[in-house]
Structure formats: structure tokens, C-alpha cells
Structure 1
């Protein structure tokens, strides 16, 4: 186990390990594009300052609920996140936390990753997401 996993920081970000593992298992079961979108949003959400572990893990569980239902209904990624994924995620997170500053580079990575998940060409955006 790494020092980060031993610290209280990780538990504040992801919440109780059992719930986090269950969330990750559910994400793994999503169809490829929906899984890629959730993982991109997850990376983006890690930039927010956590308020409490229960709120944060609930946020991730609700996120996977949304994408599981969308996948079951055949809803495309863009129908979920719209044209501005940063706006979607910022509105989504307001239900759970005050949030924190998110660097512009994280916003660009999220936008590019969701464009790829939606099957669109991400252009010259950062492809490291």
C-alpha cells in the first residue's frame, strides 16, 4: 500500500474503500465509451477539494448510476454531458461539494477525453487524458 493510500487524503477523496471498490467494479461493467466517459469525469473530479468522504463516494455512485442507465437506454455520451462537459460536471458536482479550483489543463483533458468517448475527433487537444 502506498503512502497516499495510507493517508487520510485518499479516504477523503474516495470515501470508504468497500464502496469505492464497488463503484469501480460497476464502472468496469459499462460499455467502452460510457466507461471512458466516467473515467474521464472521475479524473476531473479528483481536482475538487473534498468536503467529506460520504458525499464524495455518493457523488461517484450517482455518476455511475447515471451512466449505467444511459447505457441501458442506449443514450449517447453527448446526450448526457451536452456540448460542454466542463459545464455538465461543474453543475453535477455542485450537488455534493463546494468544490475547488480546477486547473485549465484538467478542463482541456476532460473536454478532449469526452469528445473521444463520444466518438468525435478530439483534434489537437491533449491526448494524455
Structure 2
């Protein structure tokens, strides 16, 4: 990874965070909870994949449609996140393999 790649990655992350900050407060709270949850158990390619920007896209569409964030994702944030990553290799999988000795 070159220094240019690192700088470009930081620019993209800052732009992503600016989009999150532009969301209504309730959306921001739920996004941060989702992000926290996904960083703990989410897919191993989370930091450079399309999942987080996709969530922001989805939330922006919800705001435009005038829907509350809980109308979009339902009452259980963790269950919604689990549904997003159900077919991905997760940190939870890696941990389970390390504990079981696979």
C-alpha cells in the first residue's frame, strides 16, 4: 500500500463521515450503533468494502422518503446488521475458529 493509497483512503473516509453527519440525529445514532456492532462482529472486509457507504445510501433514501430510521431497519439493530452480513466471513467466525482450534 502506497502513501497515495493511504491518503486517498483517508479522503474517502472523511467524505463518508461528512455524509453521516449530514443525516438527522436519530439516523446518526443508529448508524453509529450499527458501525460499532459491525466492527465487532461484521465482515472482515468491512473497512474497505461497500457495506458502510451502502448503509448511508439507504439512510439518505429513507430521509428523502420522510421515514424514521426505525421504520427502515426495524426494532432490532443487531438483527438488521446480521441480515446484512449473513453470507460474509465475519470476525465472529474467525474468533469461533480460533477457540475451536479449526
TM-score by length of 1: 0.57
Q: Which runs of 4+ in 1 moved over 6 A?
A: none
| 1:31-83 superposed Cα distances (whole Å, 9 cap, x missing partner) | 1111111111111111135236432xx11100110111111111112211112
**Aligned residue for 1:50?**
44
Q: Which runs of 5+ in 1 are unaligned?
A: 1-10, 103-129
Aligned length: 86
Q: Counterpart of 1:25?
A: 18
1:99 to 85, 90, 93: 90
Query: Partners of 1:73 and 1:85 in 2: how far apart?
Result: 20
1:82 corresponds in structure 2 to: 74
Q: Give the whole-Å Cα distance in 2 for the aligned partners of 1:60 and 1:98.
A: 16
Q: Matched residues in 2 for 1:69 and 1:59: separation?
A: 15
Partner Cα distance (2:91, 2:66) in 1: 33
Q: Matched residues in 1 for 2:57 and 2:91: separation?
A: 24
- Structure 1 residues 73, 52: closer, same or farther in 2, change over 3 A? closer
1:100-119 aligned at under 5 Å gives the runs 100-101=91-92
Pair 50,83 (structure 1): closer, same or farther in 2 beyond 3 Å: same
Equivalent-residue separation in structure 2 for 1:52 and 1:70 (angstroms): 22
Structure 2 gap segments, 5+ residues each: 1-5, 94-102
Task: Choose 1 or 2 for highest CA Rg.
Answer: 2
* Deviation of the 1:98 alpha carbon: 1.4
Question: Which residue number in structure 1 is paired with residue 3 of structure 2?
Answer: none
- Residue in 1 aligned with 2:96? none
